[in-house]
Amino acid sequence: MPFPPPFTSSATRSPRPSRRGRRTAALAAVASLVLAVGGCSVDTVAPADARGDAKGEAPRPVDCREARCIALTFDAGPGKDTPELLDILRAKKVPATFFLLGSKHVDRYPDVVRRIAAEGHEVANHTWTHPDLTDIEPHEIREELQRTQDAVERLTGRKPTLMRPPQGRTDETVSEICRELGLSQVLWSVTAKDYATTDSDLIRERTLKGADRDGIILLHDIYDGTVPAVPGIIDELKERGFTFVTVPQLLAPATPEPGEVYRP
């Protein structure tokens, strides 16, 4: 399963065929005209902008308005290597955000899901089967998200408030359904493309090259080269003065708004 190419909004790629393509040719033409005239796009909110618009007391234990923060995130797990990753994060006292995949992951590793939550990491939604959400019908989008919401709540007692659209593909329909389900969308600023290599040194190099303040790092805890790269990534970024936070901590004192798309 390939994960994921760079974020693409409906304004920067050709229209996907399924949601529009299953309609009549006339409706498809109208839709294309609307896109062309309206310049339909998905607006994103940077962490600094979210914090700047928020009011409230200084967040604890870290205030990213002052600290040089960065968020480590993992997609499409849990998997067989996630317990080892959790051991690393615990030893190095680093919180992370896990965007969990339902089918063959949440349902296969329920104890690991419970451990992720129990150890203070943010548990988030990455759909049930990893479809391109812009390529399926609204009721299918809702089912993909709701099924994972329900599964995580059964295991942890709490529904996720964050989701990451597979391959970073989102549009206004996805955003509206996320708003209904109480989910904020989270994209990323750097990815090591660890889905395409097992070279841990390369994964580390790519991650460090793109790391910056307010960054959101995208990795996958389901590929063989990724977990071995994590200790070196953490150690180097700490050496550079970064503080690791979860995505909600990165946005604080702002609270993630359902339906919004956050991207550094």
CATH number for the domain including 163?
3.20.20.370
Per DSSP, the three-state class of 191 is strand
| Within a domain: 92 | yes
235 found inside a domain = yes
Q: Quick one: average pLDDT of 198-208?
A: 98
Residue 68 forms part of a structural domain: yes
Q: Which of 70, 64, 129, 125 is nearest to 98 (CA)?
A: 125
Residue count (the chain) = 264
Tell me the residue ranges of DSSP E strands in the chain.
69-77, 97-100, 122-125, 162-163, 184-186, 190-191, 215-220, 243-245, 261-262
Q: What is the mean pLDDT of residues 242-260?
A: 97
- Residue 194 is a catalytic residue: no
Residue 33 placed within a domain: no
Q: How far apart are alpha carbons 25 and 92 in whole angstroms?
A: 56
| Percent residues over pLDDT 70 in the chain | 84
Q: How many domains does the chain have?
A: 1
| CA neighbor of 86 nearest in space, from 76, 74, 104 | 74
pLDDT of residue 57: 80
Per-residue pLDDT tens for 205-241? 999 999 999 999 999 999 999 999 999 999 999 999 9
- φ, ψ dihedrals at 77, nearest 5°: -95, -165
The parent domain of residue 102 ranges over 47-262
Query: Could you tell me which residues come within 8 angstroms of residue 46 by beta carbon, excluding any fewer than 6 positions away?
Result: 214, 262, 263, 264
Asked whether residue 18 is assigned to any structural domain, the reply reads: no
Q: Flag whether 82 is in a domain.
A: yes
Catalytic residue among 105, 126, 130, 220: 220
Q: Is 87 a catalytic residue?
A: no
> pTM for this structure?
0.85
pLDDT per residue as tens digits for the range 133-144: 999 999 999 999
The pLDDT value recorded for residue 192 is: 96
- Domain assignment present for residue 7? The answer is no
